[in-house]
Structure 1
């Protein structure tokens, strides 16, 4: 991809030492720079990428995106207000907008993200849909597992992974969306089709400082959904109205209350698992989920609702849920 083309998609770029280059790769860790790479100097919690510009250039970086002009003249320098934001935008362009070629399902919330994503993947796999997963336990593409540095990795990782999914003929990407990933703009260039909120409780306050800041960060995910997307909100949580009102997309509610669009009811919990029903649009669906604990019913309902919404039959979903044996590490 030509450097001039990349510069055109960057917001408020100030360019110095310009010369046309063919950019072969992108990196934000100088140790991963290869010949022809575009290096992004990111401000991190423990280090500042500007300190590694010399190393990146020596390793073959053709150009660098920075927030602070520190007088580098050896390669083209692109100065921007927010390098992390531009990393997401440029990575999406560089890998040819892979999320637009996938059905992307994002699951966020304090608890339940991992189980819900794995359950959705299992349901879709059983229905014959080729499904990839990104989350706490890594990235799964077919039979290949890739270890990840965190639940929602940096935007460059996400775009590269989704490109690999597209090239591997994956149809659906199910991913955990962490509050850190939202706050740091890692998901900003991803074209989500479905967003799911599991629950909200006091967590990560070392990063978000206050519970309200934490909630506001989660809200950003739903505010950022495209109009054509669909949100599934747990209506049993105290903050549900805020999410329903702020979702920029269509919205369904789910929970254990009768008024929910997908209303669950636990019939029995025993050694076999959870026997429950889900009511939707006047129809009642009976499920047997081999999972323990009432909390897991709150993972089953959005997984059912999401799968039903994208076109799977109730029988396909019921059969798949009945064969789910939990999260695989």
Structure 2
């Protein structure tokens, strides 16, 4: 039997009306899921306010209400608890409800603008290869051992996180690798979790539709490291100017990694090809199947994390050499006849797009055309659109601007905003095709032997979101099919 007062442990209570010794069944913040003897946590969201659904929750059988503002009318037999912050209360209550599973597993979080998915997924694959039982909480998927679940957010809500962690603990999982987004930190989803390590990748222009400005975005990321316990480690990319900032107030053990700066863990790129990278990490030469300098940083972060988790160096190097790229992260195919290389990447920020294009340009001989297909998502940070247009047109031979996930916005308007960043000297490179499949098809038709096509922005996503509906759409499948059937 679960008692209300037990899951309220460590929650800062403003006022209580009713009995906290009452037995409860389940905990929800979605009023539609409330049943008899459940607890409803009213959260003020960006779209709706959960306080408006308190009466509905009570009518459906809620035995307790957790809220920031007590309702004017209260029902006898229902316990009302006023808290200062409902999101924080939910995180603490969720951890208590599932008996604090993060304290029974080695939980490693990765945060930053780019690289989170690659690092967490490859750490999961690495540790599996080393014989450990592992879990994964990422943008692409959730893994409990070998069992896969569909991911809906980069960082799920606190109830879902703790539910998955409890399932991992019950399944005997030793390590969980988790993406930690700025939204997740800001909305207190990770508040009551005990992390054993935190990794900072980099910070660049993203999510400024949600955060007021870059400083707030940076400070939210820093909060993750500020909250790490003394026995945890913080591992930061010191080549990023924000790396040192992340370490300023943390009580955790501090470590750095870099390609350029003096650091605890250092690597050099010796060779960079479409087949992979030859790296020198500390005193070891290592060939990996990942491509580009940005992946050199990811590999180094993985190496350093594994070393901090006491993995044997020789075993670690052997496993690193077997790792494959993550779905939608510099995922490429080469057409059999024309030898056209098509690359699909999630690059949806100016910095990520620049990294991918610079990587391709560093590898190609210069005799090939580089055709980029790119768009920007709707209902998201609009200020990055002209920057994306400028970078794509500067660093590509030809560029096709197209629709991404327009959501509720007009895709043509988004494309116009992307085009506004293109310099006059690059106008001749530019083409705009709203229909994304047609844009990819056009790129395939334009490409000649040995040319390179980059399709950026959606990566692993298998849908396109238009006016609240999701339609099947997989960049990699589409371009592979088009190149297979290409006739010239």
What corresponds to 1:119 in structure 2? 122
- Equivalent position SS for 1:221: helix
1:152 and 2:155 are equivalent in the alignment: yes
Aligned pairs for 1:129-208 within 5 A: 129-208=132-211
Higher relative contact order (CA 8 A, sep 6+): 1
What corresponds to 2:268 in structure 1? 265
What corresponds to 2:215 in structure 1? 212
313-322 or 189-198: bigger deviation = 313-322
CA distance in 1, matches of 2:163, 2:299: 30
88-97 or 66-75: bigger deviation = 66-75
CA distance in 1, matches of 2:140, 2:210: 21
Distance change in 2, residues 1:8/1:318 (3 Å): closer
Residue 45 of structure 1: how far off its partner (Å):
0.6
1:296 and 2:295 are equivalent in the alignment: yes
Residue 19 of structure 1: how far off its partner (Å):
6.3
Residue 149 of structure 1: how far off its partner (Å):
2.9
Q: Provide the alpha-carbon RMSD of the alignment.
A: 1.5
What corresponds to 2:74 in structure 1? 72
1:276 and 2:279 are equivalent in the alignment: yes
CA distance in 1, matches of 2:284, 2:60: 59
What corresponds to 1:17 in structure 2? 18
CA distance in 2, matches of 1:274, 1:150: 31
Residue 9 of structure 1: how far off its partner (Å):
3.3
What corresponds to 1:253 in structure 2? 256
8 Å CA contact retained: 2:230, 2:252: yes
8 Å CA contact retained: 1:288, 1:318: no
Residue 265 of structure 1: how far off its partner (Å):
0.4
CA distance in 2, matches of 1:156, 1:301: 32
Choose the corresponding residue for 1:95, options 95, 98, 120.
98
1:208-230: per-residue Cα shift (whole Å, max 9, x none)?
A: 12111111111101111001110
CA distance in 1, matches of 2:44, 2:125: 38
Structure-2-length-normalised TM-score: 0.65
CA distance in 2, matches of 1:296, 1:178: 20
1:34 and 2:42 are equivalent in the alignment: no
- Equivalent position SS for 1:267: strand
Distance change in 2, residues 1:62/1:321 (3 Å): same
CA distance in 2, matches of 1:119, 1:312: 15
CA distance in 2, matches of 1:137, 1:48: 29
69-78 or 126-135: bigger deviation = 69-78
CA distance in 2, matches of 1:184, 1:326: 31
- Equivalent position SS for 1:118: helix
8 Å CA contact retained: 1:290, 1:323: yes
8 Å CA contact retained: 1:7, 1:13: no
1-10 or 235-244: bigger deviation = 1-10
Bigger CA radius of gyration: 2
Distance change in 2, residues 1:13/1:313 (3 Å): same
What corresponds to 2:310 in structure 1? 311
Structure-1-length-normalised TM-score: 0.95
Number of residues of Structure 1 aligned to a counterpart in Structure 2 = 325
8 Å CA contact retained: 1:65, 1:80: yes
> Structure 1 runs of 4+ off > 4 angstroms?
none
1:79-123: per-residue Cα shift (whole Å, max 9, x none)?
A: 111111111111111111100101010000000100011111111
- Equivalent position SS for 1:246: coil
CA distance in 2, matches of 1:143, 1:294: 30
8 Å CA contact retained: 2:42, 2:65: yes
Residue 145 of structure 1: how far off its partner (Å):
2.1
